Amino acid sequence: MRAEIISVGTELLLGQIVDTNAAYLSRLLPELGISMHYRVTVGDNTYRLADALRQALSRSDIIFTIGGLGPTQDDLTKETVAQVLQDPMQLHRESAEQLRAFFAARGIQMPLSNLKQAMVPTKGRVLENPLGTAPGAAFETADGKVVIVLPGPPREFVPMVDERVIPYLRERVGENSPIIRSRMLRIAGLGESSVEDKVKHLLSGANPTVAPYASTGEVHLRITANADDAPAAERLIDEMDRKLVEALGENVVFGRDGETLEKVVVEKLLRCKLTLAIAESCTGGLIADRITDVPGCSAVFLAGVVSYGNDAKARLLGVDEQLIRDYGAVSESAAKAMAEGARNVTGAGIGISTTGIAGPTGATPEKPVGLVYIGLSDDKDTTVREFRFSGARKDVKQRASQAALEMLRLHMV
Amino acid sequence: MRAEIISVGTELLLGQIVDTNAAYLSRLLPELGISMHYRVTVGDNTYRLADALRQALSRSDIIFTIGGLGPTQDDLTKETVAQVLQDPMQLHRESAEQLRAFFAARGIQMPLSNLKQAMVPTKGRVLENPLGTAPGAAFETADGKVVIVLPGPPREFVPMVDERVIPYLRERVGENSPIIRSRMLRIAGLGESSVEDKVKHLLSGANPTVAPYASTGEVHLRITANADDAPAAERLIDEMDRKLVEALGENVVFGRDGETLEKVVVEKLLRCKLTLAIAESCTGGLIADRITDVPGCSAVFLAGVVSYGNDAKARLLGVDEQLIRDYGAVSESAAKAMAEGARNVTGAGIGISTTGIAGPTGATPEKPVGLVYIGLSDDKDTTVREFRFSGARKDVKQRASQAALEMLRLHMV
């Protein structure tokens, strides 16, 4: 099965937004034994979209379109696909009802223009959209090809792919096709070249393959295996997973695939029956934001204090003002007092703190941009680590939040 | 002039890396009066690359290829371009010398395979690569088309575009070619279809064009103008900007291009000489995180409290525990007490608060997922607004943070 993706949108074409949807979908297709051959981006232009579609139909079996399903005039993907495939489309009652209910729940009358979102192929399948107003659709042709039409907003696109498209494709390609499986190991405490050095001898295999990727404050190792069936692929992956963990050392890999660092930390807190309080200065609330992205965190997360001003450090966390005058707000002593203050004022089992220079201003010759102290306090002890992070303001915040979460993870058994 | 980009690389095609190069180049082309029509990605496969190239030559004037210029066997872009254009190529002495010097400086003998990197078109131009071993090239055809071949690593790609490609294109398109400029208007308080309803009569123009786009909690209107020179394009955009603002109503557009809502809020606080304190429950620190993404926010942002537990609401913000027992933590009364508490404990001029059900758990029949109260308190009054947001946990957090920042913005003159 050969697949092709057509991304639709002038903002994508002009580089104003980066196409994360196509990347997401592309990563999943090999698991189904579907190989990607082309990816095309066109603007909101019906002629060029039709041109790209005709060509895709001449060389690929499965074509995905992404974007252009909204209610406005320049959302024309579904209409163009229907026209190229000569499918007259029909109104999908359930989707029309959902649309009306969506607007009714907000006390707004539905603009008539929105009704076009409920039009679906006469030959094919509706792919319901649990999180948006526009359903997707699979147009099926007489010669066995399929055009799958998906919405552009990533928050709608990702769950639709996971919950509707993958099951549809699995059914379509059949159970017995050879498959490709992959798994991602996630590492937070090491840089890309350190990781590569440790696992170099495992990077040249053909099946499974191992490839390292770096993102801000995190390194990923992707294991990909080919096999006749899922259990055989899983066996190959499990074996390589063990070898990589052995080469990297105990407790270096913090999670796999969708296990974020914050998720692992919340699970460890739950398991250890510990509560957490956070005192943030340079990370500005990012650690609390990440922890509260995890459903169920309220069982372990008591409170966060973003003590941006010195006065707030004193009033909300009880940090001694003389200490800040003596050592400065960006100091080992301040980080220690903040972590202890977070525990004291909330009664939490663990307190974690950050204080540093996120930049671009605020640096001094002794305290450069990127200098960050992270404190961790429990009922026995308080430790502080000093870090020097690189990058712009948001990178420093991200790297510091990552280091704080990694310290928390390693602190618990 | 119509342009097309062909990105080459299996990792790109499989979504293992995201194509930031193509986005970078796409953003620069309109300023030269070059319009992008298609963007295509193929793997490291000479047949499919040749296929994509032939098609691009049939419909575009300038074709960029990105990637596949390395020394290894699967780096085949330049060879494929030369073959499709029937250009025999020749050795570029300077580049060959540079390659030899590059290896000599590292004490390594140059592998012979690297010499292919110094082959350049017989008809066209060499584009030197200041930061890598592979030069780029512009292949020029008899019928006035050009294929520009560029390396894939972003640290080589970006300076080559800036220093070699842009000057080459400027020379090629000439000084007097028409240019394209665009501007984005940003709106936070209205949905995409409401915005479109208000500006519908302005969406069908040919020059400038206006196109709406939606992202979580925000709608963008992009104005794009063609003109002979930059001042003329700016005049067209200014005029449409005024018409859109008039149609949308006073104070609906909060910013333009890179002006984020948090940036506008921080600037307004600075201008009004007001300080801010934030009390977050359901947004979990996201508002503080966004405010502290803005350099210089420390002049106005005093502190944030992420009062996730009820106990924290009482201890850190002084919220009456009886009030929470009577009305619940997700209530108008709690939002009011939290906003007032944030002001009281920090002495800030404005306090803002959020409390709600971010989901997926925690809902009751009376209090569904997405119900959020936002409170705003100043020295005169406290107001609370009730919202019903849709989407998954992170969407509810994002939309609630957006609504809180928009309330803050509208509160100040």
**Placement of tokens 């350099």 in the chain:** B295
Backbone region of residue A369 per phi and psi (left: phi > 0; alpha: psi in -120 to 50; beta: other values): beta
* Beta strand segments in A200-318, E: 209-215, 218-227, 253-256, 276-280, 301-307
Indicate yes or no: CB of A289 within 8 angstroms of CB of B292. no
Strands B350-356 and B276-280: parallel
Q: How far apart are CA B307 and CA B277, in angstroms?
A: 13
Contacts of B27 in chain A (CB under 8 A): 14-16
Tens digits of per-residue pLDDT, A385-410?
Answer: 999 998 889 989 999 999 999 999 99
Say yes or no to pLDDT of B267 above 80: yes
Q: Kindly state the average pLDDT of the residues A26-34.
A: 84
Q: What is the pLDDT of residue A175?
A: 61
- Between the two ends of chain A, the Cα-to-Cα distance in Å is 46
Q: Which of A114, A155, A308 sits opposite B301 (nearest CB)?
A: A308
Tens digits of per-residue pLDDT, B2-28?
Answer: 999 999 988 788 877 788 899 889 988
* Beta strand segments in A23-170, E: 35-42, 62-66, 90-91, 119-120, 124-127, 136-140, 146-150
Backbone region of residue A337 per phi and psi (left: phi > 0; alpha: psi in -120 to 50; beta: other values): alpha
Q: How far apart are CA A342 and CA A352, in angstroms?
A: 7
Interface check for A393 against chain B (CB to CB < 8 A): the answer is: yes
Q: Kindly state the average pLDDT of the residues A215-235.
A: 87
Interface check for B311 against chain A (CB to CB < 8 A): the answer is: yes
The residue extents of the domains of chain B are 2-173, 179-256, 261-411
Q: How far apart are CA A191 and CA A217, in angstroms?
A: 8
Q: How confident is the model at residue B253 (pLDDT cuts 50, 70, 90)?
A: very high
Distance from CA of B1 to the nearest CA of A (A): 15
Q: How confident is the model at residue A19 (pLDDT cuts 50, 70, 90)?
A: confident
> Which residue on chain A is closest to B17 by alpha carbon?
A23
Q: How confident is the model at residue A106 (pLDDT cuts 50, 70, 90)?
A: confident
- Measured in residues, chain B has a length of 413
User: Which of B51, B213, B346 to mutate against chain A (most A CBs within 10 Å)?
Assistant: B213
Indicate yes or no: CB of B388 within 8 angstroms of CB of A105. yes
Q: What is the pLDDT of residue B175?
A: 64
Q: How confident is the model at residue A367 (pLDDT cuts 50, 70, 90)?
A: very high
Interface check for B287 against chain A (CB to CB < 8 A): the answer is: yes
Residues 91-110 of A with CB under 8 A from B: 102, 105-106, 108
Indicate yes or no: CB of A38 within 8 angstroms of CB of B17. no
Q: How far apart are CA A182 and CA A209, in angstroms?
A: 9
Distance from CA of A209 to the nearest CA of B (A): 13
Tens digits of per-residue pLDDT, A123-164?
Answer: 999 998 887 778 899 999 999 999 999 999 888 898 899 889
- Chain centroid to CA A312: how far? 33
Contacts of B293 in chain A (CB under 8 A): 284, 393-394, 397
Q: How confident is the model at residue A216 (pLDDT cuts 50, 70, 90)?
A: confident
Chains A and B form CB pairs within 8 A to the count of 272
Q: Which long-range contacts (CB under 8 A, 24 or more apart) does B95-103 make?
A: B95/B120, B95/B126, B95/B128, B95/B135, B98/B133, B99/B133, B102/B133
Say yes or no to pLDDT of A39 above 90: yes
Indicate yes or no: CB of B303 within 8 angstroms of CB of A308. yes
| CA proximity to A303, closest of A322, A286, A285, A278 | A278
CATH number for domain B261-411, candidates 3.40.630.10, 3.90.870.10, 3.40.50.2300, 3.90.950.20: 3.90.950.20
Q: How far apart are CA B20 and CA B256, in angstroms?
A: 23
Q: What is the pLDDT of residue A176?
A: 62
Q: How far apart are CA A400 and CA A408, in angstroms?
A: 12
Q: Kindly state the average pLDDT of the residues B99-128.
A: 85
Q: Which alpha helices (H) appear in B161-256, and where do they start and end?
A: 166-173, 192-199, 230-248
Indicate yes or no: CB of A72 within 8 angstroms of CB of B392. no
**B217-230: burial string, b at 16+ Cβ within 10 Å, e else:** bbbbbbbbbbbeee
Q: How confident is the model at residue A15 (pLDDT cuts 50, 70, 90)?
A: confident
Q: For residue B258, give every residue at least 6 positions away whose Cβ sits within 8 Å of its Cβ, in sequence order, or none.
A: none
Would you say the ipTM is above 0.90? no
CB A210 within 8 A of CB A263: no
What pairs with residue B384 in β-bridges?
B375
Residues 149-178 of A with CB under 8 A from B: 153, 155, 159
CB A67 within 8 A of CB A78: no
Q: What is the pLDDT of residue B298?
A: 94
**pLDDT greater at residue B164 or residue B154:** B164
Q: What is the pLDDT of residue B176?
A: 65
CATH of domain B179-256: 3.30.70.2860
Q: Kindly state the average pLDDT of the residues B172-190.
A: 84
List C-alpha distances in Å: A88 to A78, A131, A139, A199, B216. Answer: 11, 26, 11, 56, 32
Return the ∠ at Cα B242 (arms to B238 and B248), rounded to 5°: 140
**Domain B2-173 of CATH type 3.40.50.300:** no
Most confident of A361-365, B13-17, B81-85: B81-85
Indicate yes or no: CB of B306 within 8 angstroms of CB of A307. no
Q: How confident is the model at residue A334 (pLDDT cuts 50, 70, 90)?
A: very high
Question: What is the arrangement of strands in the sheet containing B253-256, beginning at the earlier edge strand?
Answer: B209-215, B218-227, B179-187, B253-256
Q: Kindly state the average pLDDT of the residues A369-375.
A: 96
Tens digits of per-residue pLDDT, B192-250?
Answer: 889 989 999 998 888 998 888 877 789 999 898 888 888 999 999 999 999 999 999 99
Interface check for B308 against chain A (CB to CB < 8 A): the answer is: yes
Contacts of B393 in chain A (CB under 8 A): 293, 295
Q: How far apart are CA A355 and CA A346, in angstroms?
A: 19
Q: For residue B15, give every residue at least 6 positions away whose Cβ sits within 8 Å of its Cβ, in sequence order, or none.
A: A22, A23, A24, A25, A26, A27
Distance from CA of A367 to the nearest CA of B (A): 17
- Measured in residues, chain A has a length of 413
Interface check for A318 against chain B (CB to CB < 8 A): the answer is: no
Q: Which two tokens stand for residue A95?
A: 């989707």
Contacts of A316 in chain B (CB under 8 A): 303, 305, 316, 345-346
Quick check: bond before A121 cis, omega within 30? no
Contacts of A296 in chain B (CB under 8 A): 361
Find the helix or strand (DSSP H, E) in which B95 lies.
helix B93-105
Cβ atoms < 10 Å from Cβ of A232: 15
**Placement of tokens 């992707």 in the chain:** A222
Q: Which two tokens stand for residue A64?
A: 């995905």
Q: Which two tokens stand for residue B279?
A: 């009390």
Rounded (to 5) percent helix, strand, coil in chain A: 45, 25, 30
- Chain centroid to CA A377: how far? 30
Q: What is the pLDDT of residue A104?
A: 86
Tens digits of per-residue pLDDT, B282-313?
Answer: 999 999 999 999 999 999 999 999 998 889 99
Indicate yes or no: CB of A347 within 8 angstroms of CB of B311. yes
Indicate yes or no: CB of B397 within 8 angstroms of CB of A55. no
CB A302 within 8 A of CB A344: no
The secondary structure of residue A375, as a DSSP letter, is E
Q: Which two tokens stand for residue A57?
A: 């139909």
Q: What is the pLDDT of residue B237?
A: 97
Phi and psi dihedrals of B313, rounded to 5?
-60, -40
CB A317 within 8 A of CB A338: yes
| CA proximity to B44, closest of B65, B21, B61 | B65
Q: What is the dihedral of CA A355, A356, A359, A364, to 10 degrees?
A: 130
Return the ∠ at Cα B105 (arms to B104 and B109), rounded to 5°: 25
Q: What is the mean pLDDT of chain B?
A: 92
Contacts of B44 in chain A (CB under 8 A): none
Q: What is the mean pLDDT of chain A?
A: 91
Residues 11-70 of B with CB under 8 A from A: 11-20, 22-27, 30, 36-43, 45, 48, 51-52, 55, 59
Q: What is the pLDDT of residue B228?
A: 87
Q: Which two tokens stand for residue B84?
A: 């499709």
What pairs with residue B218 in β-bridges?
B215
Indicate yes or no: CB of A222 within 8 angstroms of CB of B16. yes
DSSP secondary structure of B21-61? HHHHHHHHGGGGTPEEEEEEEE-S-HHHHHHHHHHHHHH-S
Contacts of B308 in chain A (CB under 8 A): 288, 292, 297-298, 301-304
List C-alpha distances in Å: A254 to A258, A388, B151. Answer: 11, 22, 35
Interface check for B180 against chain A (CB to CB < 8 A): the answer is: no
